């Protein structure tokens, strides 16, 4: 309940700290008003939903990402070229890095989450795979599956036995 304390009731007076915060915000907004503009049309690009039509970006379900199209839009607007560097301090799955790669722009991404680091590092590797190589590899592995012993993995997770029928779980293992 204390967390809700930051939201004042309608009509309730602001504390001196809250008033100072509002005054500072207003000062910063006025100072940079000539640089700011609202573009509601970009709203659809600030979510992962824009990547649902791109098979490469559907490989990982990283919903905190924003749309690849947003990266493309700002690379175009900022007129970035191969002479530039692009820094993404919260790179997530690496959408910005992938966009930079597509335009031969050097880029650096930083993220604290190990899964984000993994995805950002591996996603561009899919661009180096020869056409049909994944299909061929899948067929080889599928052929090896029939003679292989089931892995013990997932048997210690109770929900696995509930989520899958026995024959399906065996095939997955």
Spatial separation of the C-alpha atoms in residues 93 and 109, rounded to whole Å: 10
pLDDT confidence of residue 10 = 52
Continuous H helices in 32-104? 68-77, 95-102
Tokens 């696995």 belong to 160
CA angle 70, 99, 44 (to 5 degrees): 15
CA angle 171, 57, 141 (to 5 degrees): 30
Judged against a pLDDT cut of 60, whether residue 1 lies above it is answered with no
Q: What percentage of residues in the chain have a pLDDT greater than 70?
A: 84
Judged against a pLDDT cut of 50, whether residue 94 lies above it is answered with yes
More confident position, 156 or 98: 98
Judged against a pLDDT cut of 50, whether residue 165 lies above it is answered with yes
Report pLDDT digits (tens) over 19-72.
Answer: 667 888 889 889 999 988 888 888 888 877 778 888 888 887 777 788 899 999
Judged against a pLDDT cut of 80, whether residue 147 lies above it is answered with no
Secondary structure (DSSP) of 15-38: PHHHHHHHHHHHHHHHHTGGG---
Residues 6+ apart with CB under 8 A from 105: 75, 80, 81, 82, 84, 85, 86
Q: Are strands 106-109 and 85-88 parallel, antiparallel or unpaired?
A: parallel
Helices (H) and strands (E) in the chain, counts: 7, 2
Q: Is the dihedral of CA 73, 76, 81, 84 positive or negative?
A: negative
């Amino acid at each position: 309940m204390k967390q809700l304390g930051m939201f004042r009731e309608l009509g309730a007076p602001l504390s001196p700290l809250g008033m100072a915060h509002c005054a500072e915000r207003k000062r910063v907004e006025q100072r940079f008003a000539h640089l700011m503009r609202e573009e509601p049309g970009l709203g659809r690009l600030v979510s992962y939903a824009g990547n649902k039509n791109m098979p490469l970006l559907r490989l990982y379900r990283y919903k905190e990402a924003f749309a690849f199209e947003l990266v493309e839009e700002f690379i175009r607007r900022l007129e970035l070229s191969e002479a530039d560097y692009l820094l993404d301090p919260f790179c997530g799955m690496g959408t910005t890095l992938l966009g930079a790669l597509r335009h031969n722009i050097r880029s650096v991404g930083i993220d604290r989450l190990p899964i984000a680091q993994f995805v950002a590092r591996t996603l561009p590797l899919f661009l180096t795979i020869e056409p049909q190589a994944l299909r061929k590899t899948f067929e080889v592995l599928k052929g090896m599956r029939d003679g292989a012993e089931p892995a013990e993995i997932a048997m210690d997770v109770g929900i696995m036995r509930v989520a899958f029928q026995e024959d399906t779980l065996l095939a997955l293992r």
